[in-house]
Structure 1
Amino acid sequence: MSDASARTGSQPWLLSFPSIALFLGLLVVPLALTAILSFNVFDSMAGTQDEFTADNYIEILTDRYYFELFLRTALMSGGVTLLCILVGVPETIILSRMQPRYQGIFFVMILGPLLISVVVRTLGWSILLGREGLINRALVELGLIQTPLQLMYSMTGVVIALTHVMLPFMVIAVWSTLQKLDGQVADAARSLGAGSFTTFRRVILPQLLPGILSGSIIVFTLSASAFATPALIGGRRVKVVTTSIYDEFLSTMNWPLGAAIAILLLIGIACVVMGSNRIIERKFKQVFS
């Protein structure tokens, strides 16, 4: 009996071993090696040394340049997340109220960008955002501006392109939550005299919060770690953490410093996401209780 119990208890571990091994091999081990590399000494003449030091982290944490770099990345990610909420939530609600035959068409149109390489999408935006691009030419011909706007190689252009890239993730997260809502609850609120705005604020929005929060976490994380869009749209004029890591690894060949920046980016994203999640949930509980 004890042997049978032991075999039964070990079965879950045996069945999950392939996924655990894959997780360790593809995520934990590379992160551990990167963390170790971040403590290596770097010499401009001899390259990476086998000695260990914390100077890389001290340099990043004490240099104002890196503080502005991380702040710029956080503001960029926060702006993209806010725009995705403002556009994605109403878009998903409208989509849910469409007739089924139109719902599928528009859903494919919204999620279509996910089927295209992020590099191809970004190159398309670089054509639209150029000084002679479609957006500037349309604004000039409409008389809204006199001279073309500087959208390429600017933070504005990066945020616009990233919002387009990340919007489907917000729509998917909110859509999955929206499908679980009971429409009769909103109807009951209206029958009791609540207006459309009050019904949305007190009944629908609290139920959508899990989807909005999960979508915000996904969008913020992917925006902060995005490389192709900031590199192609922002160029050398808009430096963010990911492009700085790229420069350290491939331009200056200072791998330990680049690894230290990457580890701090990972820690920063984890802290911001967990902290924001707790604060927002606590505030919304106070508002809607």
Structure 2
Amino acid sequence: MKSRALTPWLLVSPATLLFLGLVILPLILTVILSFHVYDHTTGIQDSFTVEHYVRVVTDDYYLAIFWRTLRLAFLTTLICAVIGAPEAYVLSRMGDPWRSIFLLVIIGPLLVSVVVRAFGWSMLLGSTGLVNQSLRALGFGSVRLLYTETAIVIALVHVMLPFMVIPVWTALQKLDPAVEAAALTLGASRFTALRRIVLPQVSLGMLSGSLIVFGLSASAFAIPGLLGGRRLKMAATVVYDEYMSELNWPLGAAIAIIVLVANLAIMLGYNRLVETRARRALG
């Protein structure tokens, strides 16, 4: 009986140890590092201070970067939801073999490195890229897209869209198409059937997809670094600069912890709000 009670703990212990060693322990060390004093001449000191946190939350430079990071992450999430939910609905109504083909098209970009895709977008959006060449051919003149927030959002949407489509499509697999057909048969309009039957089911998938997209967008590094340039920095690029260029590891750790706490607060609040509404809608 005692060995049977210990069996669940023995089964989860390898994954627990791996999680503690790869996630929790580095996070604790990062928190400790963020409170260390840093001197530009002698490096990291053994004494502790909260100066780095005070500097980050009171400096307009860092506050502007945080605001840009959250704003672009929210915009990316919104666009992915607007595009991904209808795309997942259409995908769920497809039959074989088209469903498999289009599902492969959606998840295919995940097989390519983010850095490669970022370089591809830099060539497309550059002054001599395909987009500007097409605009000039149509008589509109060239448009500056590279090293702008627009370029960052475009590339982030391209990278994050599968993370929105797949959860919504998975949620729609639980919905019996006959229920929607029954609503149409009983006189409900197409819009009413979508709003009263499909949307409550889709909202659960959109919740999962939105949390994934927002979290990954807010912590993105390669795309802002390559398409935003040195002028349009986001939180991850600032952390990289503090670690690798300025060598101010405590300040970089403080920025990383603040971004992590802000992301968790936003995502948990959003999760509670949407989940409560979904429960009410589903009864």
TM-score, normalising length from structure 2? 0.96
Aligned to 1:184: 178
Aligned to 2:101: 105
Equivalent of residue 267 in structure 1, options 248, 261, 265 = 261
Aligned to 1:166: 160
Aligned to 2:247: 253
Equivalent of residue 75 in structure 1, options 67, 71, 74 = 71
Q: What number of residue pairs does the alignment pair up?
A: 283
Equivalent of residue 24 in structure 2, options 23, 28, 36 = 28
Aligned to 1:66: 62
Distance in 1 between the 2:14 and 2:275 partners?
35
Offset from partner CA, 1:173-231 (integer Å, 9 cap, x none)? 11111111111211121112111111111110111111000000000000001100000
Q: Percent identity?
A: 51
Aligned to 1:156: 150
Q: Please say if residues 202 and 288 of structure 1, whose CA atoms lie closer than 8 Å, have aligned partners that are also in contact.
A: no
Q: Please say if residues 200 and 281 of structure 2, whose CA atoms lie closer than 8 Å, have aligned partners that are also in contact.
A: no
How far residue 113 of structure 1 moved from its aligned partner, in angstroms, is: 0.6
Q: Which amino acid aligns with 1:126?
A: S
Q: Please say if residues 204 and 278 of structure 2, whose CA atoms lie closer than 8 Å, have aligned partners that are also in contact.
A: no
Offset from partner CA, 1:103-143 (integer Å, 9 cap, x none)? 11111111111000110111111100101111111122123
How far residue 92 of structure 1 moved from its aligned partner, in angstroms, is: 1.2
Q: Please say if residues 39 and 54 of structure 1, whose CA atoms lie closer than 8 Å, have aligned partners that are also in contact.
A: yes
Aligned to 1:8: 4
Judged with a 3 Å threshold, the aligned counterparts in structure 2 of structure 1 residues 288 and 25 are, in CA distance, closer, same or farther, namely closer
Distance in 1 between the 2:10 and 2:124 partners?
53
Q: Which amino acid aligns with 1:115?
A: L
SS of residue in 2 equivalent to 1:237: coil
Judged with a 3 Å threshold, the aligned counterparts in structure 2 of structure 1 residues 195 and 132 are, in CA distance, closer, same or farther, namely same
Distance in 2 between the 1:84 and 1:21 partners?
35
Q: Which amino acid aligns with 2:7?
A: Q
Aligned to 1:120: 116
TM-score, normalising length from structure 1? 0.94
| Aligned: 1:214 with 2:239 | no
Q: Please say if residues 154 and 237 of structure 1, whose CA atoms lie closer than 8 Å, have aligned partners that are also in contact.
A: no
Distance in 1 between the 2:169 and 2:135 partners?
34
Judged with a 3 Å threshold, the aligned counterparts in structure 2 of structure 1 residues 283 and 17 are, in CA distance, closer, same or farther, namely closer
